[in-house]
């Protein structure tokens, strides 16, 4: 059963986000209704709006008539990673408090998405955002850990022990393997 995967994050034991990847494009500037004060005209959507064109200026182009200050997609992604970490950290602690030390937080779901969580004994944390109807993806995260993280990051003789700023994680083998694996689910 194909499922929609939105994004994937890895946090190291120092709570830093060492890897993140998005599989869907957030469309923030394209589909906004033109504000009355705005002099810009947004391009009229073609026939149906289910076809959404994503252009390169999403990342650092001018923002059309929005009130929020200019923020790059990269900042946005890093903010999201921090929020996700805060969420899973709090929920994990809550679960441990209520369910005992051996309990583990698995997933949570909202109306729009589902977040799957997996933590290794070394406090490496994996978080995967999918569509809300997805079944448990714990084994998927476990597979990513064994087959990709251990194989291509841990066993890489050139990778540092600590992955500060994602160093050593962003290697070609890991990225390709991950992309292929996730696209196989979709």
Cβ proximity to other proteins: between 48 and 122 the closer is 48
Cβ proximity to other proteins: between 55 and 136 the closer is 136
Q: Least distance to other proteins from the beta carbon of 120, Å?
A: 15
Cβ proximity to other proteins: between 74 and 97 the closer is 97
Q: Least distance to other proteins from the beta carbon of 115, Å?
A: 8
Cβ proximity to other proteins: between 26 and 166 the closer is 26
- The span from the CA of 165 to the CA of 162, in Å, is 9
- The span from the CA of 116 to the CA of 163, in Å, is 22
- The span from the CA of 183 to the CA of 3, in Å, is 10
Q: Least distance to other proteins from the beta carbon of 68, Å?
A: 11
Q: Least distance to other proteins from the beta carbon of 165, Å?
A: 23
- The span from the CA of 109 to the CA of 133, in Å, is 9
Cβ proximity to other proteins: between 20 and 153 the closer is 20
Give me the residue label for tokens 């999918």: 130
- The contact set with other proteins (CB under 8 A) reads 6-7, 24, 26-29, 31-33, 45, 48-49, 80, 83-84, 86-87, 90-91, 93-95, 97-100, 102-113, 115, 129, 136
Q: Least distance to other proteins from the beta carbon of 66, Å?
A: 10
CB count within 10 Å of CB 116 equals 22
Give the chain's end-to-end CA distance (angstroms, integer).
8
- The span from the CA of 158 to the CA of 150, in Å, is 14
DSSP letter at 39 equals -
């Amino acid at each position: 059963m194909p499922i929609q995967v939105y994004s994937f994050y890895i946090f190291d034991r120092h709570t830093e986000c060492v890897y993140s990847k998005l599989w869907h494009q957030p469309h923030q500037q394209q589909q906004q209704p033109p504000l009355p004060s705005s002099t810009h005209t947004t391009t009229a959507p073609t026939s149906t709006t289910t076809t959404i064109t994503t252009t390169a200026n999403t990342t650092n182009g001018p923002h059309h008539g929005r009130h929020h200050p200019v923020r790059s997609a990269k900042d946005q992604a890093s903010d999201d990673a921090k929020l996700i970490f805060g969420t899973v950290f709090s929920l994990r602690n809550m679960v441990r408090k209520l369910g005992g030390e051996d309990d583990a937080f698995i997933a949570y779901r909202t109306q729009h998405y589902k977040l799957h969580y997996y933590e290794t004994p070394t406090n490496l944390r994996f978080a995967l955002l999918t569509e809300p109807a997805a079944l448990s993806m714990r084994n998927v995260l476990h597979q990513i850990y064994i087959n990709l993280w251990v194989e291509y990051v841990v066993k890489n003789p050139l990778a540092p022990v600590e992955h500060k700023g994602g160093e050593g994680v962003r290697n070609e083998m890991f990225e390709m393997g991950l992309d292929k694996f996730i696209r196989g689910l979709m």
